[in-house]
Every structure is written in structure tokens, then in C-alpha cells.
Amino acid sequence: MNLLKHTVATAAISAAIAGAAFSAEAASVKATMDSTQIVMGNVAVVKFDIVKPADSPAQLVADMGRMPKEVEVASWVDGDTTDIGNGLVEIRRGVVLQSFDSGAYVIPSFLLVNGPDTVRSNELRLKVNPVDVSQMKDINPIANVAKFQTKWYDWLPDWITDYWLWILLGLLIVAGGICGYLMVTRKVAVNILPQKKRLPPDVIALNRLDRLKEAQLWEKGQEKEYYTQLVDILRDYLQERFGINAMEMTSTQILKALHSNEETRMPQRHMKRIVDIADYVKFAKVRPVPDDNVRAFIDARNFIEETRPVVQPEEDGKDANAAGEGKPSGAASQPSESTKQDKK
């Protein structure tokens, strides 16, 4: 019994040693070259026949430390893989060598690296022959340095020529933002199409008052909308006529601005009556009597008429005001009867 156990153990150890030896000797690499002579500048292809275990991640590399500096590795050529049985595969691949210096060179072994194990191929010999120029009859002298035609953009930095499209897009976005800001804030008037001559602010305001009167909003019970439009007409008039940004001001700020302006100091009484009743209607939801609505409309017209530019007569006695044609019906340069009564 002991003899049988000893025999089995001996056989197992022998099999393990044989398997390890087979694994170490299974990987091999052989290098061949079709031609050992080339003309300088041409290429030579080294072919490799690699045998290795199928599950081994072995890699073929060049021993550049021993490679002659006159010989360059131009490129690697992928090959095909064939299963040859017993867990082994055969790989055929190649490498392209090139040299521009004549001479005889020793191509060192290429390395098949598989983890800690390395297998070397056989060394090769390569002879590089110089170019035979004895038979050439068309050798020309060295030409002068060629001059190339430059363009204006050749003088620009590379970052501009490489990213000019993004730079242009960014500038367009910035320019559009600036134009939009100026248009929204009304700091610059942008006329895309030719427009007729703009009417004076007083004529525009009086025309809007006439249209508001024709809408009959307060007669329809829309007092809040009536006073909102009435005050907006006066706010726009102050912006165009005196440069007062009334659209962004409260009622108190508007009255303070009117009091600071000598031209509007006296007529501000009309504006005060309007904004007082308008604030009650819009914020306190007070419903004014019809007489208050009519009075507010008259105050608005009187304020515009008392603050409109003074008409300067020309030598021929005609009115030189450019707004003559656009003046609404009933509008006059002289104060209205209601204004005279108010002053009294």
C-alpha cells in the first residue's frame, strides 16, 4: 500500500515538472527577412513566426536599446492567428525597417514578453547600399530658396485663425446684447426701415388722448384701465418732452421731478390731481364719479397744452411748428378756456 502511494506521488510530481517545462518551452519567436540588402531610403520587412499559449497575453517588442541608430522602425504589420492545438496558437506578423544611411547593420533580437518571462528571436543582418548616381544624367544644380505668396491672414496669431468662427460668433452675441440693451432702454433709436418724420411729443400725446376719449372706457365701467392709459400717456410725454424717466417713477417722484423743472412747476397742479385720483382707483379700488373722470381728462390736456413748446412765428406770419399737420382737432397753441378758468 505504501509502495502504491509513493508511486502515485512520484508520478504527480513528474507530471507537474513536465507541464512547467512544456509551458516555458511552448512560447517561441522566429524572425526572417525576404531580402538582406536594400537601397538606402527603401524599406525591409521582418517577418515573425510566434508560437505561444492561447491564454498568454505575450507581446512582441523591439529592443530599441540595441537597435542601430541608422535603422528606424517605420511601422508594425498586423498578422493572423492560427490555432495549432494543445492550447497553442501561431501568430504571424511583421515590422517595417527603414534606413537612410548605407552600411551593414545587425538587427538585434526582438523580445516576446510574457509577464516575467521573455523569449528572444534570432538576430538578422541587413545591408543598406548607397544610391548609384553614376548612371544619372539629369542631375540639376541646387535650386534657390522658393518664395511663397503670403496672405493677410498669415500674419494673424494661430489662436485667431484656429478659432475665428467661435470668436466671430462671440462678437455677434456681444454686439446683439449691446444693441438690445440700447433699444430696450431707448438710449439709441434704431430705424430698420425708412420712417416718416416723427411728430412732436405734444401732438402725439394729444392724439392719444383723443383716441382714449373715443374708447369711452370709464363709461363702460373700466375706470382702472382708463386711468392706467391716461397716466401712461402723460408718462410717455414727460419722457419725450423733458427727458424725465416717468415710466420708472412713482407718483411722488414724478411730482418732485415736475417741481424741480421750471417749465413744469406751475402746470404740475394738473398732474397732481390726476395721479391722486389714479392712485385711488388703481390701488384702493375707488370708483370715481363721472365728473372726476371728465376733470382728469381735462387736466391731462391742459398739462400738455401748457407745457408744449412755444410756437415761434416765421417772417411770413405762418406757423413754423412742424407738427401743424399732425395737430389733433381742437388742439390750439393758446391755453384752453378751462385752463384760463383754472388760473383765475
pLDDT band at 53 (very low <50, low <70, confident <90, very high): confident
Task: Give the model's pLDDT for residue 106.
Answer: 93
How is the chain split into domains, by residue range? 26-129, 153-183, 201-308+338-343
Q: What's the average model confidence in pLDDT over 5-32?
A: 52
Mean pLDDT of 23-36: 78
Whether 337 has a pLDDT exceeding 60, the answer reads no
78-97 per-residue burial string, b: 16 or more CB within 10 A, e: under 16:
eeeeeeeeeebbebebbbeb
For residue range 68-110, list pLDDT tens digits in order. Answer: 999 999 999 888 888 888 888 998 989 999 999 999 999 999 9
pLDDT tens, position by position, 280-306: 888 888 888 889 889 999 999 999 999
Distance in angstroms (rounded) separating the CA atoms of residues 268 and 304: 10
CATH pick for 26-129 out of 1.10.357.10, 2.60.40.740, 3.50.50.60, 3.80.30.20: 2.60.40.740
Cα-based distances in Å from 285 to 123, 222, 225, 256, 302: 105, 11, 12, 25, 26
What pLDDT is recorded for position 153?
76
Between 236 and 160, residue with greater pLDDT: 236
Query: What does the alpha-carbon distance between residue 186 and residue 174 come to, in Å, rounded to a whole number?
Result: 18
Please report the pLDDT score of residue 310 as a whole number: 78
Task: Give the contacts of 108 (CB within 8 A, at least 6 positions apart).
Answer: 63, 66, 67, 123
Half-sphere exposure of 335 (CA within 13 A, CB side): 14
Kindly tell me if the per-residue pLDDT of 343 is higher than 60.
no
Distance CA 107, CA 137 (A): 35
- C-alpha span between 191 and 271 (Å, rounded): 32
Give pLDDT tens digits for 110-127. 988 887 788 899 999 999
C-beta separation of 312 from 324 below 8 A: no
C-alpha distance from residue 128 to each of 40, 44, 77, 137 (Å): 5, 10, 21, 24
What are φ and ψ of residue 313, in 5° steps?
-70, 145
DSSP characters over 203-263: HHHHHHHHHHHHHTTGGGT-HHHHHHHHHHHHHHHHHHHH---GGGS-HHHHHHHHHHSHH
- pLDDT (tens digit, 9 = 90+) per residue, 242-272? 999 988 999 899 899 988 988 888 888 999 9
Q: Which helix (H) or strand (E) holds 272?
A: helix 268-283
Residue 332, pLDDT above cutoff 50: no
Name the β-bridge partners of 120.
Answer: 111
DSSP conformational letter for 329: T
What was the pLDDT predicted at 108? 92
